[in-house]
């Protein structure tokens, strides 16, 4: 369905954060697969403080998951 393979392991917090942003978008993409509609919706949210803040909230939830999956990137042995 989603058609995008991914791993939860990332080399560092920055790339983990980028994955969190990608996952927040992936759910929208899967729920609304029409790229034209998504493009028009993007105009709704990318100048809307409330929606940008809500996206940041979703990123926080995914980042919580990803950070746990990487043991918070504390162990150099686990670094990819």
User: Which spans of this chain sit near a copy of itself (rule: CB under 8 A)?
Assistant: 1-2, 4-9, 12-14, 17-18, 20-21, 23-28, 30-32, 37, 41-42, 44-65, 67-69, 72-74
CA–CA gap between residue 11 and residue 14 (Å, rounded): 8
**Residue 33 CB, nearest approach to a copy of itself (Å):** 10
CA–CA gap between residue 62 and residue 69 (Å, rounded): 11
Q: Is 19 exposed, middle or buried (0-12, 13-18, 19+ CB in 10 A)?
A: buried
Residue nearer to a copy of itself on the CB measure, 57 or 77:
57
Residue nearer to a copy of itself on the CB measure, 44 or 77:
44
């Amino acid at each position: 369905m989603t058609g995008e393979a991914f791993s939860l392991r990332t080399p560092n917090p920055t790339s983990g954060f980028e994955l969190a942003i990608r996952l927040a978008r992936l759910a929208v993409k899967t729920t609304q697969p029409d790229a034209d509609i998504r493009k028009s919706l993007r105009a709704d949210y990318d100048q809307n403080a409330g929606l940008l803040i809500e996206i940041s909230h979703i990123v926080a939830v995914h980042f919580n998951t990803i950070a746990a999956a990487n043991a918070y990137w504390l162990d150099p042995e686990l670094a990819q």
